[in-house]
Structures are given as structure tokens and as C-alpha cells.
Amino acid sequence: MSAVPYVLLATRNPGKLREVREIAAATRRGGLVWHALHEFAGLPDADESGATFAENARLKALHYGRLTGLPTLADDSGLEVDALHGAPGVHSARFAGTPRDDAANNRKLIGLLTDVPLARRTARFRCAMAFVRDGQVVLESEGTFDGLISDEARGSNGFGYDPHFLVPDLGLTAAELPSAEKNARSHRGQALRSMLTQLEALYRSLGQWGV
């Protein structure tokens, strides 16, 4: 059997990195060794100028794959609010400006929705993933997570917009969900499980899956 493949998770966001590793571990499929950007000093940031999450995921995966020489999995994700015509969308991370500030992003979001009743604050988290190997995008996946935007921030098990993202059937925000429940429902969980299935098929075909 060939050496177990290494895959770079192209993120510096510790919350996102934790979620990806938890979801990957929960699949119980093994077969990959995961690395992260903080293990590589001095890497310049990727250009995230795409008009969609999928375009940005491809740009990031290609950028960091070229710099490290590793097969690279990148995602781009964010919040789409219907009453704001899909904003903040691909600008979710820096909605309130640079540098990224989750508290400022949430204040801006809630401020823009002041006159919008809860029933019309429909929104979704969207995640797109791209996997690059040998300089080419070879796999892609997507996931969505529907909810409502609540004025009240609740919960500590999350990051970004999670404390304001209400899951209607549970009456809890994404930040109030236990990790297992959140990962089972979330946009990132959906996209990653699809990606892991594709990765397993790819590496099995190359005789590089399983430890």
C-alpha cells in the first residue's frame, strides 16, 4: 500500500479548523493525515476575489496547494440573508470592514435588520469546498444550513454569526447546539461529508486509503 496521503486544510480560522477535524473524525473512515496553515510560516493570504463561495474555495485551494505542494482542501462559507438580498454573502468575514471582527459584523447585521420582523429574517449559511491535487481542482462539494436571524446573541459553541443564527425547529441558535448536533446539520458538515466520500473514492482508486 502506498503512503497515507497528506491533506492541507487551507484555513487560519481556529473555529473552522476545529469543526472540520471533528466532522472528519466522526466519519470514522480514517485514511488521511491532516495539516493546517499555521504549520507553514510566512504563507501569503490567498486572493478571495471570487463572486461566489465556490470560486473563492477554488482560488484558495489552488493558491495554498501551489505554495505547499500538498493536496489542499479549502472552503469558503458565509451567511446569506434574504431581506438583505443575499448579503453579506462572500463578504461575510469582513462585513464590517478590515480586519475581521465578528462582534462588529454582528452589530452591522442586526442594525440592518432593525425594522425587519423575525419571520422575514430568513437566512442560510452556505459552504463550498474545493480539493486541489497536482495543481488541478479535482473535487468540489457544497452544503446549506437554513435558519432565521435573531436580535439576541445566545450560546458560546460557535463563531462568526452563530450566536444570532436561530434554528427554528429547535428554538436554539447555532452557537447553542452541541457540537455533534451542529455538525450533523451545518453547511460545513454537509459539504465535508460529501467531500470525504469523494476523497475516499479517489484515494482508494490510487491504493492510498486506509491505515
Annotated active-site residue in 75, 76, 134, 151 = 76
- Long-range pairs of 201-210 with CB within 8 A, sequence gap ≥ 24: 202/133, 202/138, 202/139, 203/5, 203/31, 203/32, 206/2, 207/1, 207/2, 208/1, 208/2, 208/3, 208/4, 208/5, 208/31, 209/5, 209/31, 210/1, 210/30, 210/31
**115 catalytically annotated:** no
Instruction: Please report which residue ranges of 27-144 form alpha helices under DSSP H.
Output: 53-68, 102-112
Parallel, antiparallel, or unpaired: how do β-strands 122-133 and 165-167 relate? unpaired
Residues 100-159 pLDDT 10s: 899 999 999 999 999 999 999 999 999 999 999 999 999 999 999 999 999 999 999 988
- This prediction's pTM: 0.90
Domain range summary for the chain, segments of one domain joined by +: 6-205
Parallel, antiparallel, or unpaired: how do β-strands 172-173 and 165-167 relate? antiparallel
- CATH fold, domain 6-205, is Maf protein (3.90.950)
Residues 38-82 pLDDT 10s: 999 999 999 989 999 999 999 999 999 999 999 999 999 999 999
